[in-house]
Amino acid sequence: MDSASSKTKALDPPLHALGFEIDELSPTRVTGRLPVSPICCQPFKVLHGGVSALIAESLASMGAHMASGFQRVAGIQLSINHVKSADLGDLVFAEASPVSAGKTIQVWEVKLWKSKEGSEDRTLIASSRVTLLCNLPVPDHAKDASDPLKLISKL
């Protein structure tokens, strides 16, 4: 499972369906990128705010899941500020990192930037905080839910 696309498909099918690709996975940093295509735009041909929220919660949840020793986590609060738009054709980069990685509650910050194809310049488009409840019991039917993340993150 080498490519970022196949990693994302195994870990988060909704993100994969939008074209998002996970790059880095660790208990202290999760990153990825999304080419802004028609499938993830609202009618004005800019990135849909719900897509930014999906990216934020997904990356924070993966990181918190790893940071909690692969215990079950659940997002209980998501706050996102959209400060600029990303246009059709832009490339969006996302980075999630823990603000506080406690045993019961974790808070993650997720930032999204945009750039034009081939440009090194990045502009912040969204900043979010995700609060997650950690160390929840894993139901019997989901005992193997962590397997793809364990395999891909190589922790």
Residues annotated as part of the active site: 57
The strand pairing partners of 81, in sequence order, are 127
Bridge partners of residue 129, in order along the sequence: 79, 109
Burial string for 48-72 (b: 16+ CB within 10 Å, else e) reads: beebbbbbbbbbbbbbbbbbbebbb
Contact between 97 and 111 (Cβ < 8 Å): no
